[in-house]
Chain A
């Protein structure tokens, strides 16, 4: 018996553009967890990540006509998510200068790797936005530089440099707890 055929993201997006809400529901279910995880790493806060996820999907719904058929859905979604996180961060900083969100402890913090995760989150927050984005997507989400370049709208070389510099800083910050592959 053959496995049921799974729609590609692009096919779902095309159906959503034609007005099929069920296609959007599938896309939502497919990406809500990965995007929440990505945005938590990017923002360093679960609350900020929830806000940014909501803004991301709202943007997808409002701007579904702006998706260019033939292009890839995943980099588009992550680009929207990065933009939402960046804007939210800037606005928060402008409205409450000097305000830092308090560190949050998740349920997983009480288990084995909690300390490492926490250190990574803290170290990531010390990177400039562009480097953090490149490091998270490449090192943690496992994207290729080509995919990141497509998502962030920068050249592949620029993305490589950002990821390299970001990793150097992380390596320095986390040298006592983790050994990086070169």
Chain B
């Protein structure tokens, strides 16, 4: 197609009525205070860290500090860190060349950490639906806060996936301190399955939630 064809790129002027309607719609919005993404990210980080702290205290309550080894604490704190990095990077309006390596790095880091957590011993499955329930409960608040923040961006399933993963991973970090079982079957069914549920629920909820802004 040549530039001069009848489908060319010239844009017809907008009717004064439409322009007026748009300006009226915008005038009330212009008076609203500016919302900074940093506040949402800070809220998410604060909720995540606070819940981790509360979880650590509650779940350690009946245990001697020696029962939770330094290695387990290290793994938990590292999982918390990757959850925070992924969550904040998914909320930030940074260009993709900045946020994508951060998110991918966090996801990769989380996966590597999980391989450290799981013992490949073939032991009988230890069912514990308490682990599953706690993991879901602990994810609720961070996932909710992240979802509210995500409304400030165009709906994108990859963003919802990362936010759900971040909330679920924070929960996994707390459960590390509560659950002594490390066998593959238990971790898969009672820890990773709820993480998957949180991710799926976050993605589904994001599709349903109205969007307040369509920024990329």
Contact = CB atoms under 8 A, between A and B. Distances in A.
B214 to A, nearest CB: 4
Contacts of B154: 80, 83-84, 86-87
A21 B35 CA distance: 16
A28 interface: yes
Interface string A99-128: 000000000100011001100100000000
Interface in B1-22: 1-3, 5-14, 18-19, 21-22
Contacts, number: 112
Q: How big is the B interface, by class?
A: 35 or more
Contacts of A83: 154-155, 214-216
Interface string A60-96: 0111111110010000100111011011000000000
B contacts with A: majority SS: loop
Contact of A36 (B11, B152, B212): B11
B126 to A, nearest CB: 42
The 6 closest A-B pairs by CB, nearest first: A83-B154, A113-B6, A37-B11, A66-B93, A83-B214, A59-B213
A117 B216 CA distance: 30
Given A33-B12, A36-B14, A54 B25 contact: yes
Given A62-B35, A64-B34, A32 B22 contact: yes
A153 B25 contact: no
A7 B170 CA distance: 46
Interface string A35-65: 0111000000000001001111111011111
Q: How big is the A interface, by class?
A: 35 or more
Given A61-B26, A63-B152, A65-B34, A141 B9 contact: yes
Contact of B13 (A33, A38, A54, A63): A33
A4 interface: no
A58 B29 CA distance: 7
B60 interface: no
B26 A58 contact: yes
B205 to A, nearest CB: 15
A180 B154 CA distance: 34
Contact of A116 (B2, B6, B11, B14): B6
A120 B7 contact: yes
A117 B37 contact: no
A22 B212 CA distance: 23
